[in-house]
Structure 1
């Protein structure tokens, strides 16, 4: 097992060991911190919580109350390993994907180009103080966002995590897409776009 996979296993165990009360308290604190840096008028993509990830439902509920346009990732039907982002409403039909995660049923009409999204909230397994993000290993976000720097307008990429998911340093691969910020229940880490990253 390589070092990245060992780290995934360790951090997933760490976050899954949190009690229900710790999870609830953390998710509410995360919501409050995140809502201080995003606007209800923005188009925001986010995800449904899975496998001990910090609960995004308080964020979703608050943004819905403010009539924010919300998008959710859908496994791309034709490009294996990629994501579509689809807007949702009360009429949206949901289905379980191959990872047993709920996603909106495929609908080309509600699919939104990345250049039309203001903020993408991203899951992660681990992060470091330099803003490096370690995902689950499927590479879906990295593939989907690989050309983001060439877009005329690009979304702000924000990783969400428990504080216990922080590590001192993460190995960085050339295909890892840099993110702009990481938000935890206790802080916001803004990542400098000029920072040097070493593999």
Structure 2
């Protein structure tokens, strides 16, 4: 990833406008449109994985209209995968850790109202995951992603640079969240991903 200069005021405004616009568009999808996109996410995900191992997968629970990945877990290739959810690291403020999760595990809301595993389930080191599926508000095919603005994933993923083993990083969203290269102003803290997984809602 090339060195990025600090964002100018106009670039910050452009990011905020794009984030607001795409979040609103995402929220306006009907329940039927979300279900259709969730069904289409499985083949898109398998195609993006190609031949990479997927025994340990970190994902997210859909929030704020995000693309739901849970139906994709029923795909034959992923049925035996161990899945992990992010939770706010109490020891490193602004960072995430990933806890083992299954649908029957009890959940509780974090400070943002997002569900996390309620009990101290076993956590897996970031570098020991095979795949990390990242929610995104916007992304492009060059591998740049913009999240919700809290910076949790970017700070967490920055730690991977010092590790010889790297999980595959895939940004996930609806087709309309993929923007042309150059539309998304890049911030110095943005961490690149290895690929994208998109699904249409129509």
TM-score by length of 2: 0.83
Aligned residues: 185
Give deviations 1:112-168, integer Å, cap 9, x for gaps.
Answer: 111110000000001123221110000000001112122121101000110111222
Match of 1:177 among 175, 191, 196: 191
**Which segment is superposed worse, 23-32 or 111-120?**
23-32
Match of 2:114 among 90, 101, 104: 101
The root-mean-square deviation of aligned C-alpha atoms, in Å, is 2.2
Q: What does 1:134-149 correspond to in 2, within 5 Å?
A: 134-149=146-161
Question: In the alignment, is residue 23 of structure 1 matched against residue 37 of structure 2?
Answer: no
SS at structure 2 position matched to 1:85: strand
Residue 99 of structure 2: aligned partner: 86
Query: Quick check: 1:14–1:165 contact (8 Å CA) kept in 2?
Result: no
Residue 9 of structure 2: aligned partner: none
Residue 24 of structure 2: aligned partner: 13
Q: What does 1:31-42 correspond to in 2, within 5 Å?
A: 31-38=42-49, 41-42=54-55
Tell me, in whole angstroms, the C-alpha distance in 2 between the residues paired with 1:26 and 1:59: 11
Question: In the alignment, is residue 121 of structure 1 matched against residue 133 of structure 2?
Answer: yes
Structure 2: which 5+ residue stretches go unaligned?
Answer: 1-11
SS at structure 2 position matched to 1:29: helix
C-alpha displacement of 1:92 = 3.1
SS at structure 2 position matched to 1:28: helix
Question: In the alignment, is residue 3 of structure 1 matched against residue 14 of structure 2?
Answer: yes
Tell me, in whole angstroms, the C-alpha distance in 2 between the residues paired with 1:74 and 1:139: 14
**Which segment is superposed worse, 30-39 or 155-164?**
30-39
Between 1 and 2, higher relative CO (CA 8 Å, sep ≥ 6) is seen in 2
Match of 2:168 among 156, 166, 169: 156
**Which segment is superposed worse, 114-123 or 164-173?**
164-173
Structure 1: which 5+ residue stretches go unaligned?
Answer: 187-199
Query: Quick check: 1:122–1:159 contact (8 Å CA) kept in 2?
Result: yes
C-alpha displacement of 1:13 = 1.0
